[in-house]
């Protein structure tokens, strides 16, 4: 905007992180040099702008994909995280009435198995939104209403399940939820709830910190009984998308094929999706002329070790594998099976 200037200050380590998240890019600022910059490598998703339904779906799917790649057993928690992410991101579209897009970002902290999701908009705030159909005394009252099941600004645009269900999932998980609107913040830590006065800001913001080692089963929550849950999730939808696309292309899923980390992330995703597939998963090596033995061992060797030799050809089918890669793969698979027999 003409006549405006933007200045970002603070500890350099935090500024570097904001650069990696894409803040400078979205603000139209020149990105300072970062010789030590590293790619996301699946640890976080950059800032995503939300202005409509397609962006809500895209960012929700990105967070689900991040989870599947970062830790074993993610499929148990994906449906709950998918539900809450979609609901709170969709609130930007349905209720915020902001003149600028909202923002969503997420990061996985491997050391503690923690997933953090942040959703922010610069809209009218909860008090103004809920005041359409009732009298709302102040920001604290608005926050209390917002997390009450069945409360919405209008039954024509929502059922009032989103924030209430998100709070329920966070409590069941033992995680943390911080919801800010106007000059008040609601903080939920496990079963303890508190309100605090904060500097007044436009719009609404929510930060979730979840323990990925404690999945929440949606069928056991009020969300399922209250009609706010659908028996359809990212895992099933991704399986159908894979069938339509003809499978997973390794080069589209991995930044390189020279080491274990990208292979581990892809293997985790494959193992999470396999139970929901009606047809064998096609793993396409198109465009790969050489892959390291460590990559092939982490991907194919461990798949065979965990699921048996019959998994290749029955549940997983390899495509466009070069002869040299085929021999390397057979070698690492043979080593895995031999080691398993010795144990």
DSSP 106-120: EEEETTTTEEEEEEE
Q: Does residue 331 belong to any structural domain of this protein? A: yes
Q: Does residue 65 belong to any structural domain of this protein? A: yes
Q: Does residue 16 belong to any structural domain of this protein? A: no
Average pLDDT for the chain:
88
Write down the pTM of the prediction. Answer: 0.87
Angle at alpha carbon of residue 288, lines to 282 and 291, rounded to 5°: 100
* 333 in the same domain as 259: yes
* 276 in the same domain as 161: no
* 282 in the same domain as 192: no
* 335 in the same domain as 243: yes
* 282 in the same domain as 254: yes
Q: Which of 206, 231, 256 is the last residue of a domain?
A: 231
DSSP one-letter code for 31: P
Q: Write down the pLDDT at residue 159.
A: 63
Q: Write down the pLDDT at residue 42.
A: 57
Q: Please report, for the domain that includes residue 189, its CATH number.
A: 3.30.565.10
Residue 130 burial (C-beta neighbours within 10 Å; 0-12, 13-18, 19+) = buried
* 183 in the same domain as 71: yes
* 132 in the same domain as 201: yes
Q: Which of 214, 231, 248 is the last residue of a domain?
A: 231
Q: Which residues pair with 179 in a beta bridge?
A: 186, 206
Q: For residue range 5-42, what is the model confidence (pLDDT) as tens digits? A: 777 777 877 777 677 777 777 777 777 776 554 444 45
Q: Does residue 25 belong to any structural domain of this protein? A: no
Q: Which residues pair with 105 in a beta bridge?
A: 118
Q: For residue range 188-239, what is the model confidence (pLDDT) as tens digits? A: 998 999 999 999 989 999 999 999 999 998 877 776 555 555 566 899 999 8
* 169 in the same domain as 48: yes
* 250 in the same domain as 212: no
Other CB atoms closer than 10 Å to residue 2's CB: what's the count? 3
Which residues of the chain, if any, have pLDDT below 70? 1-4, 17, 34-42, 153-160, 223-232
* 50 in the same domain as 188: yes
Q: Does residue 184 belong to any structural domain of this protein? A: yes
Number of domains in the chain: 2
Q: Does residue 319 belong to any structural domain of this protein? A: yes
Q: Write down the pLDDT at residue 12.
A: 78
H-run or E-run covering 133: none
* 294 in the same domain as 188: no
Q: Write down the pLDDT at residue 38.
A: 47
Write out the residue range of the structural domain in which residue 246 sits.
Answer: 238-342
């Amino acid at each position: 905007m003409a006549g405006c200037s933007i200045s970002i200050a603070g500890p350099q380590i935090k500024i570097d992180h904001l650069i990696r998240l894409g803040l400078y890019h979205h603000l139209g600022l020149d990105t300072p040099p970062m010789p030590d910059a590293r790619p996301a490598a699946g640890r976080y998703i950059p800032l995503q702008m939300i202005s409509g339904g397609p962006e809500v779906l895209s960012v929700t799917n990105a967070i689900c994909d991040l989870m599947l790649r970062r830790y074993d057993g993610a499929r148990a928690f994906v449906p709950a995280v998918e539900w809450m992410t979609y609901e709170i991101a969709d609130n930007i579209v349905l209720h915020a009435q902001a003149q600028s897009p909202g923002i969503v970002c997420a990061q996985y902290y491997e050391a503690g198995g923690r997933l953090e999701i942040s959703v922010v908009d610069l809209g009218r705030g909860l008090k103004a939104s809920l005041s359409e159909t009732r009298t709302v005394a102040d920001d604290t009252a608005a926050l209390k209403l917002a997390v009450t099941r069945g409360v919405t600004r209008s039954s024509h645009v929502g059922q009032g399940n989103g924030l209430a269900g998100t709070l329920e999932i966070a409590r069941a998980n033992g995680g943390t939820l911080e919801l800010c609107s106007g000059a008040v913040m609601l903080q939920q830590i496990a079963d303890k709830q508190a309100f605090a006065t904060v500097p007044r800001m436009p719009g609404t913001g929510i930060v979730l910190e979840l323990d990925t080692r404690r999945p929440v089963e949606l069928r056991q929550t009020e969300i399922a009984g209250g009609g706010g849950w659908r028996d359809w999730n990212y895992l099933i939808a991704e399986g159908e998308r894979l069938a339509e696309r003809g499978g997973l292309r390794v080069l589209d899923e991995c930044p390189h094929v020279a080491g274990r980390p990208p292979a581990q992330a892809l293997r985790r995703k494959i193992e999470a999706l396999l139970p929901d597939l009606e047809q064998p998963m096609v793993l396409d090596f198109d465009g790969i002329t050489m892959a390291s033995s460590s990559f092939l061992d982490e991907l194919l060797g461990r798949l065979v070790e965990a699921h048996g030799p019959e998994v290749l050809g029955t549940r997983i089918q390899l495509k466009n594998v070069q002869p040299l890669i085929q021999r390397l793969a057979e070698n690492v698979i043979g080593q895995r099976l031999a080691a398993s027999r010795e144990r």
